[in-house]
Amino acid sequence: MREGEGRVPPRTQAEGEVRIAVPGSLESTVAEIEARGARGFAVPMDLSDLAGVRSAAEQILDVWGGVDLVVNNAVHHLAHARLMETEPETLIASLLANHVHQVAFVQALLPSMLAAGGGTIVNLVSGSADHDPPAPPGEGGWGLAYSSAKAAFGRLAGSINAEYAGAGVRAFNVDPGFVVTESGAARGGTDKIEEKGFATTPPDAAGVVIRWLAEDPASSALLGQPVRAAELHHQLR
């Protein structure tokens, strides 16, 4: 994806079928990585396409040979809908993209970690998975399709740890909090959510926390616990 091509749906289904432009691209991300002296490799991936997800993992392994850190930060954007407007097809699509296909991505990369003697998997979860929405979608709350899929996704780390911690693979759930990303800003920001008492988190908090989880052996003490990025970021600073 090139700069200017990014599009996301509106925040709520009531806003219609418009597609909202967002800044950022795979190309600009790789350029920023390489400008910092590291190697970058972009692989387009559509979370709604299982074959594409598996193909992306294969391309990564072909180029890098293996991975020692996987950060599942992608999300399938959908317009939040109220309960009676939520179609079964929407629930299925969200569950597949935000849970099932991300499990498949981990399954494709996990053997390379085991072969190398270990690695770290970080799943960016959501407070919507274990908090009731403070209001309906469009008024500071979120829709069932998103939150229920993220709740399912939140169970992945525990399964990984139960089966593979002894082989050196550790998995963490990191709740980034409410971050005003480029996409979130384009879709209207978080003003209504903040009005309901949810504070925003610094954009770099999750990155700082993930690096610490991957690099510091002391982070193993947090296995099995929800890692709140805002709180841990403050402690690390």
**pLDDT tens digits, 12-47:** 676 667 777 777 788 999 999 999 999 999 999 999
**pLDDT tens digits, 146-195:** 999 999 999 999 999 999 999 999 999 999 987 766 666 666 666 666 66
7-236 folds as Rossmann fold (3.40.50)
Identify residue 166 by its one-letter amino acid code.
Answer: G
Task: Tell me the domain boundaries of the chain.
Answer: 7-236
pLDDT above 80 for 9: no
Question: In the prediction, which pLDDT does 141 show?
Answer: 87
